[in-house]
Structures are given as C-alpha cells and as structure tokens.
Amino acid sequence: MNGKPVLTIARREYIARVRTKSFVVMTVLIPLIMGASVAIPMFLVKADSPRQRVLAVADETGLVFDSLRSLREERLADGRPRYVVERVPATPRAVSDARGLVELEAYDAFVFVPAGAVDGLPVTCFTNGVPNSREIDHIGAAFNRALIALRLAREGLDPARITALTRSVPFDVVALKKGAAPKTAQAAFAAVMAMVILMYISLTMYGAFTTQSVVNDKTSRVVEILVSTVSPTELMYGKISGTGFAGLTQLGIWVAVTLGVSIGMPESAIAKTFHAVADVSIPALIVFFVSGFFLYASLYAGVGAICTTNEEAGQLQLPVSLLLMVAFFLAMSGVNDPGSTLTAVLSYVPFFAPILMMLRFGVGEASWFDAAVSLVGIMLTTAIIATAVGRIFRVGILMTGKRASLTEVIRWLRKA
C-alpha cells in the first residue's frame, strides 16, 4: 500500500469536512451549550439564595422549641436571621389558626410536634403548596437533631459529647503504582471516566459521519476516478483517517475551550476534572482514545460500504452502536472493581480494549506491557477491518438499488 495516495485522500476528506457549515456551527455551538450548562445552574443557585422564612411551631412536648437553637442562630448574608421561629400554643384552636395563616402566606411553614415525638411519633410540617425540598430537609434535620438530643438527655447522656465521639472522619483512598507518585483513587477515576464518556459521545457522533461519507462517495462520480487511480484499501484508509482527524480537530477545539473555562473558574467541577486528568498518564489515555476512535470509525465505514443509502446505513449502524454501548457499560461496571478478572480479560478484546484498558491503566491496574499488548491488538484489528472494508467497497460501488446481504458480503471478501 502506497502512503502518498492515503495522505492525499485523507487531506481531501479532512478539508471537505472542516469546511462544511455543520462542522463550523457545531464547533461554535457545543462550547456555548457547555458554557451555558455551567453558567445557568450557577446563576440559578445565586438567584435562589436563602431568604428569611417565618416558622410557627406548636410543641406539645414543651421541650423541642427551646432546643431549636441551631435554626435561630443561622444568619443570612445581610446579617438578618435566616429563620424567625415563633411559638404557637399547642391547642386545637391555635393549631387551626396557624394552618390558616400558612394558607394566607403569613407563615412559610407551621410545624406541629406531638407529645410523643421524642418516642418516635411523626412531626408534621404544613406548607403553602409544594415546598422547597432543600429548605424542608434543612428544617427537618434541625428538628431531628433536637429530638435526638432530648432522647440522649433523658437517658442521662451528654448530646454534645455523643456528637463529638461519633463524628465521622474523611476516608481518603490513595492508589499506589510502582514507579509513579501516589495519587488519590478518586482523581484517577474522575479522569478516566471523563475520557470514557468523551470517547463514547465522540464515537457515536463521528461514526455516523464516517458512514455518511462512504455512502455519499458510492453514489458520486468522483469515486469512479479515485478507484481508477488508487486501491480501495488506500481509499478506505484515507477516508477513515481524514474524517477521523476532522473529528479529533473538533474535539480538540472543544477541550481547549473547556480548559480555558476551567482556568477562569478554578473551583468548578470542570476545573477539578482537568486537575484529575493531570494526575493520570495523559499520553496513554490519548493513545487509547485515538486508537479506539479509528477502530470504531473503520466499523462505521464498513456499514457505509455495504449500504446504498443513508437510510439503510442508519439501520445497519445499530449493531456497531450496540457494541460500543456494551463497552461503555462494561466500563461503568468496571469502575467498581477495575482489577476484576472479567475486566482484565475483556480489556484485551480489541473492541472493548480502548475503553477498558484505558480504565485499567488510568487507575493503575495495568502495566505498560499490558497496555502495549492491548494497543497492538487494536491496531491490527483496525488494519484488518479497514482492508476488508476496502474490498467490500470495491464491489459495493457496483451495487445499486439494494443493500448487500451478509452472504454477499462474505462472497465479495473471498473474491477480493
């Protein structure tokens, strides 16, 4: 196989793809959507900042109200109390009046504490309409703390002492790998999962582009000229490479923009993910990402070589998409135990290796030798598939009107 025609075709495919309006629009639109997905929640959180709320409490125990010190001590940013807690007599008439005032929005909530609440009877909170779940959870936690403190005091125990003795401590997991600096397992998992998700999304998106490009060429006069000057295998290598690098270019732009955003927002989740990626072997992750990208791109190109229309190709892409989904779900399962035998064995299967070996290597469960063996398998499989796709394409360009059957595809491969 001559490398010069492959480069020429790859350059043609690359330029044709990056000059399309859809490429330009998506390159600009996706970062805007990503930026909005980060900025809008932050804006909503600020807009939904806590406001002063008035609570009415009817306490039949006579003890809980005085124990709500934590609620009364909370302050808003301007120094005002976050909660104004008012005592309501625990009489039927007063309780009925308090419920009516909630409906009139004079109170934000009315809490009724029955006499048996310390022994486990439920405390009831009345609100006007559907409440803010975070506020209700916060208020409920304060009442629970008060009731637990009363139970402990009744048993002669010091609530503050019990709280101090039962306070949980952080449990940090540090992954050790020979010849490498220790790193937190959480950081490694975050980095690898970010790469796995990015690979899944990019392959789903750009695989369809590869299929469409091959199908369009089969119905174009240009392909007749190309096939007369280069071999079908060289044509497929060029098409897969050109379309693939166009996709990687777009991904690179998105990652660069995201990196820029993370620098400006060092406390954001995106920034923390990039810091996590920096703790992992980035070159290895990139190599597996690119190799997996071209492996699945060759499969999608095979779909295009078999089909005669984009509608047919859309249906036949399902098996390839399912194969990719299986690899993705195996990675999700492997996160719980990346050192399991099943994950280790499947990480050498070429169609699962780009994702599973990337997962194992990223968290320190695979050596450089393991990664190299897996990578060789991916590259050989990609070469075999691309060669087979070229042979199918050579015969497929003569087929019109119907999609080739599996028997016909096998016959084409034998004849080629």
pLDDT tens per residue across all 416 residues of the chain: 567 878 888 888 888 888 888 888 888 888 888 777 767 776 766 665 677 888 999 999 888 888 888 888 888 878 888 888 899 898 888 888 888 888 888 888 899 999 888 888 899 999 887 777 888 888 999 999 899 988 988 888 888 888 888 888 877 766 666 555 445 556 566 666 777 777 778 877 788 778 887 887 777 766 666 667 777 778 888 888 888 888 888 888 887 877 776 666 655 555 555 555 555 567 777 888 888 888 988 888 888 888 777 777 777 888 888 888 888 888 888 777 777 888 889 999 999 988 888 888 877 778 888 989 999 999 999 989 888 888 787 776 666 556 666 677 777 666 65
Cα distances from 161 to residues 142, 153, 156, 164, 338, in angstroms, run 18, 11, 12, 5, 41
State how far Cα 373 lies from the chain centre.
28
Amino acid 377: pLDDT:
94
- Give the span between the Cα atoms of 100 and 94, in whole angstroms: 10
Q: How many CB atoms lie within 10 A of CB 315?
A: 12
* β-bridge partners, 85: 55
Amino acid 348: pLDDT:
93
The end-to-end CA distance of the chain, in Å, is 15
217 close to 307: Cβ distance less than 8 angstroms: no
Cα distances from 194 to residues 74, 87, 276, in angstroms, run 38, 51, 10
Fold of the CATH domain 51-165: D-Maltodextrin-Binding Protein; domain 2 (3.40.190)
For the chain, residues classed under CATH 3.40.190.10 are 51-165
Counting beta carbons within 10 angstroms of the beta carbon of residue 33, is it exposed (0 to 12), middle (13 to 18) or buried (19 or more)?
A: exposed
